[in-house]
Amino acid sequence: MIIGIDLGTTNSLAAYFKDGETKIIPNRLGKHLTPSIVSVDEEGKVSVGETAKEYGYLHPLNAAGVFKRTMGTDKKYRLGDYEYTSKELSAFVLRALKEDAESFLGEKVTEAVISVPAYFDEKRRKATRQAGELAGLKVDRIISEPTAAAIAYGLYEKHGNTKFLVFDLGGGTFDVSVLELFENILEVRAVAGDNFLGGEDFTRILEDAVLEEKEIDRDSLSEKDLIRLRKAAEEAKLAFSDKGEADIVFKYKEEELTCHMDTKEYESRCFDLFEKIKKSVQRSMSDAHLKLSDIDEVVLVGGATKLSIVKNFIAKLFKKFPNTTVNPDEAVALGAAIQAAMKERNKSIKEVILTDVCSFTLGTEVSVERGNGSFESGHYLPIIERNTIIPASRTERLYTLHDNQEHIVIKVLQGESRFAGNNLLVGIMEIKVPKNKAGEEAIDVTYTYDINSLLEVTVKIISTGEIRKQIIKGNENDMTPEQIEERMQELSYLKVHPRDQEENRLLLLKGERLYEESTGRVRDAIDVWLREFEEALNDRSRQNIDAARNLLKSRLKQLEEEW
């Protein structure tokens, strides 16, 4: 079976299509959202999601989150005695979603359509695909998050020529996509965004406000202090939508610090973030050759769009209220599931042609002639420009520079700078050409880019008719199937916590965190409650464990509500 997966910065989730309906797959705890957090305890046991999140409150050096922001890089995260890349951490999250789906659906899940931000470059998309393979999933299709959201909103079922803007503000990334529907073709006209802008940054604004008001240096905070501060800021951020004001309550050095803020001040402090958002929106509209007034409908995606200040900003910018009929947390996963059904040619899905765009310009390095007849190297020649509808194929003819030149080096680059060195190198081809006078030998360089982010470079030597082809896979070392299998074996020795014990372990971690945050009689009471639950666990009676778990859950919930 093929499922759709939204691999998010803050939360991840999966969905499936069956009997004409798209539904979210609940995780092992019965929840729709699985926090994109991984932890490793002192025994080498790996946990994912809520359990990892709670473990991280107590052991911040043994848990990692927000690693999607470094996808496709060499950055390593140390968790206890182990080191992982963001690709490998993502594989743990994907494997948890796969196992949850198999448990819920009662059948094997072998393939997934995984979403990525529209602005993810080739390296990041490739790393996402490899993370899926490490998790035991076949990943033939990577879908852009805004495109998936457009599908979930049913934009392809609208009538007439309609223009949409998908505003996708998640936990760690921001995408804006302009789409146009014409007959049965849903075409992405332009994309823009920022891989380092999201809900986490709106939380950081509140964290900084507390530290500024209380004159505390961030560098002086311990890891546990930082986690408590982030948690307090998160809770306050969510409160703004309900009350229009919030108190950020932060426990620091046994003292409870409170910082009060209203919506107006919060909006003011977020001015720079909104300016970044506005810049991306303006760029997408410019690339699509449209004005804001040309947009018929704005749809919201991503948990951060639930913030009242974000909704107000969008309404003012477009002078219309956005469409929020689909849960913004779930839209991408639902759309990915519909795309999976389309891939399976499910007859319940309306036949629609989906087009995407190339998010970054693809080109090569060339030398340009100066006025004195000399040539200057290091310049960038765009071949497929950003926001070109894909699949696309473009050709440029290049000539030799020197007499008796024997080789032409094609550097395949991705980026927007006019200088080649400032762009991302994704591949190299060296072409042998016949010796001749400068400018007498030429090659046609053809780039062909498809919806699965595969770039084929074809070079034809004009004088001989010889053709060379290469699929460019990036300048990083790609993993072979054998390497993937070997790495999976390396990861498999880590003992993932058993499914049937996870809910109990999560509850114990939560109790321990609340114990640390409490004092006096409350702390004593939590200690008694935890010991009672541990006794029930030792008893190994399913009935007693269930009763004790429900009691402890109720007590802790009541305690949190009273706080």
Q: Is 145 a catalytic residue?
A: yes
**pLDDT tens-digit map of 307-346:** 999 999 999 999 999 998 899 999 999 999 998 988 887 6
Q: Based on the residue annotation, tell me whether 201 is a catalytic residue of this protein.
A: no
Asked whether the predicted pLDDT for residue 481 surpasses 80, the reply is no
pLDDT for 291 beyond 50: yes
Digit-coded pLDDT (tens) for 57-89: 999 999 999 999 999 999 999 998 899 999 999
**Can you name the residues that pair with 63 across neighbouring β-strands?**
39
The C-alpha atoms of residue 140 and residue 191 are separated, in whole angstroms, by: 22
Contact (CB, 8 A) for 416 and 361: yes
| Given 50, 54, 68, 180, the catalytic residue | 68
For residue 173, the model assigns a pLDDT of 87
Confidence of residue 490 (pLDDT cuts 50, 70, 90): low
Q: What is the mean pLDDT of the chain?
A: 88
pLDDT at position 369 over 60: yes
Looking at the predicted structure, is the pLDDT value of residue 48 above 90?
A: yes
Is 168 known to be catalytic?
Answer: yes
Would you say residue 401 has pLDDT above 60?
yes
Calculate the CA 67 to chain-centre distance.
Answer: 9
Q: Of the listed 50, 121, 133, 168, which one is catalytic?
A: 168
Confidence of residue 496 (pLDDT cuts 50, 70, 90): very low
Strands annotated E in 415-543: 424-432, 442-449, 455-461, 467-472
| Annotated catalytic residue within 54, 145, 365, 502 | 145
Q: Residue 251: pLDDT above 80?
A: yes
pLDDT of residue 497: 37
- State the first-to-last Cα distance of the chain, in angstroms, to the nearest integer: 45
Does 357 have pLDDT greater than 80? no
527 an active-site residue?
no
Confidence at residue 505, expressed as pLDDT on a 0 to 100 scale: 86
Supply the DSSP string of 382-432, one letter for each residue.
EEE-TT-EESEEEEEEEE--STT--EEEEEEEESS-SBGGGSEEEEEEEEE
| Amino acid 495: pLDDT | 38
Percent of the chain residues past pLDDT 70, beyond the cut: 90
Other CB atoms within 10 Å distance of the CB of residue 224: 14
Please report the pLDDT score of residue 475 as a whole number: 37
**Is the pLDDT score of 445 beyond 90?**
yes
